[in-house]
Structure 1
Amino acid sequence: MLNVSERTQEMKGSPIRRLVPLAVAAKKRGIAVYHLNIGQPDIPTPRSFMEGIRDAKIDVLSYAPARGIPVTIHALIDFYAGMGFHLTEDEVRVTIGGSEAFAFSLQATCNPGDEVLIPEPFYPNYYGHALMNGIKVVPITTKIEDGFHLPPIEEIDALITPRTKAILFSTPSNPTGVAYTRDEMQAIADLAIKHDLYVISDEPYRELMYEGEAVSILEFPELHDHAILVDSISKRLSACGARIGTLVTRNRELMKSIDKLCMIRLSAPTFEQLGLVSFLKDPHYKDDIAAMREKFHSRRDTLYEALQTIPGGISRKPEGAFYVFVKFPQLDNSEEFVKFMMNDFNLDGETTMVAPGAGFYATQGMGNDEVRIAYVLEEPKLIRAVEVLKAGIEAYAEQRQRVAASTG
């Protein structure tokens, strides 16, 4: 009898995408769906990026260099230099999206059976890639009441074992929008030095900061050999489909291993690399990023205000990215709630899709009363989406009460 691998059987699938077929079915029934479940910006991709693809002078679409096209790497070096990070071509690699960058980081730093610490709730693909490589995720549980900031460093220290090899996180965070403070980042750096750990910092939302400052792992010179920066153009360029990411490390031995991984996957997309070069050569590219930041800042404020109209909802205003994680005590199973919203509920022919919270945790039982909301729609649509969400939560709670009464 043919079998599939145990690893893939153990995978839960993405909580962000697993239920999308239900939305497709709802639309076929004539229901309009407000998609707040996926972090796909609706903002047009910069013209300079698209022109770079259109104007590429290519006769033969051959493999790009495994490390990345040299002109792309040098454009990225200039980009990071503008933020005060002075890198060389030996320290920067182009990857197929940020996802490949953190997958390579895990593969190059951990052996099967090793452990990686990740603050939860976290981006679910971290867990999936760890599982696929036989790596154990040890969660650092954070709480909505604390704005999802890190617990006391002593609690994190207590989680470290001889099998711990790395700490992985995103800042500003997907899914919570928390941005770790300089003190928090320093505490992580101190732990990494104390226990000789790698620090993998996923920073694709760095420019989307609304409160405080974005602190990068590259700012800590003591982490010269420990720090790995994961980056992506998906969010800052509204180019999720381009699949261009970056991996940065100053650790030369580690980069030798990364290069082997780059070679066996051949190359990152050529046209998109040239599009990135065109964007970064545009003297006004920072204006494009700033305009996007201002738009998401306004959307954040609009969404947060709208969420206050839902009784019992608990949230903290996110400091960055374009997500907010919300606790609704009316929910007993957030995945069942999303199914209810897609299958059984509409308000005047409309429904709202969010991402169920449990899929962002490694700890069983957590997140059942929480959802992630991506504010990736225009503000009038966000307001209406929350109105529909509010009505849906009320209807779901009433349904659960009826079921409980009938079975009691």
Structure 2
Amino acid sequence: MGIDWDVVIIGGGAAGIGAARRSADHGLSTLLLEASQRIGGRALTVNIAGHALDLGCGWLHSADRNPWVGIAEASGFAVDRRRSAWNQQYGDLGFSQAEQEAADEAYAAWHERLVSEPTPRDCAADALQPGGAWNAYLQAISGYISGASLERLSVADYLAYDRASTRYNWRVPAGYGTLVAAGLPATVALRVATPVEAIDLDVDGVSIVTRAGSITARSAILTVSTSVLAGGMIRLPASLDDWRHAAGSLPLGRNEKVFLEIVGNSPFEPETHVIGDPHDARTGSYYIRPFGRPVIEGFSGGEGARALAESGPAAGFVHAVDQLAALFGSEVRATLRPLAVSDWSRMEHVGGAYSYALPGCAGARDRLARPFDQRLFFAGEATERYDFSTAHGAYQSGLRAAEEVIAALGARAS
């Protein structure tokens, strides 16, 4: 069998781009296959009405150790290091100072129970206070962080991320998605709109079946989402059933964004934030005028994102405007215009936001990250033990998988 490439990378998100950069650095002939019409994966910046809007990831989390910061600066992208306004409720609107303190205390007590009183079921909901006044608020926070309710969340997995996070969160004014897409080296061959239908293992390497024909390689790196892996969109050998099962234990959460444009005079101050209704687990979180732009970025997670996906964009815009009008006054309705909305759960080659581990399944991340037969390698944010759910975790996983490929090919050649 003739071999076309040293390595074929399947998936052009942050993990695929990380793997491509490392493979290219080592001189491997590298092809990146992307199912959609663009690269970037769950990092997607769209330019609408002159505004760069991140429909996917938007913040460089753990920014003081996030490799995308260095990539941004080396590539000429500006990095905004201002502290986020997430923990503020502008003007204490709809959420008094006393209520904020009570909610913070409830969160701290819940978190302490996670750490000091491990539950046999490894289920984050078990640490809720029965009938607690702020349980809906805690569910909303879980939706923002993990994209899922606490009943579906592994304590061990949640704490692994929480302990590793440095709490530094910076931004790229040009858009995180723009930065990620610009990270692909020009020396790497790219084919977009090329979904992979099957992967077969041959004597000499890997055969990758696409609609345009088969491609052969000495090795392959699979970086697609857990939804794609578990859903069987790519036919894999039966010997990879354990990898599929691991992916099924790491489902993608639900997170969606709604963007509104501000027109005319309004009470909305730059770089401020409000939560719509802290007593509703489905509430949106609203970042107001980021970078001073006349935009409001609404963020929904868990059940809130599910409701948005099921009700559709028009209802999502109405819900966001209703929540903002309840806080700022009905006159703001005349100043808000629909701008953009995400729909990650319905994207065929994605299927959701980012991964979380079901109770008892935190170890699935290590199982998913294992190479198979030193020919097929796995990357993606879900394969990261501590930095899952982030673009930098995805990137780091791509570097790791590429290093595994380099070592395997070197071993075969010796």
| Superposed pair shares fold, TM > 0.5 | no
TM-score range, shorter chain: under 0.3
Q: TM (normalized to structure 1)? A: 0.25
Higher strand share: 2
Q: TM (normalized to structure 2)? A: 0.25
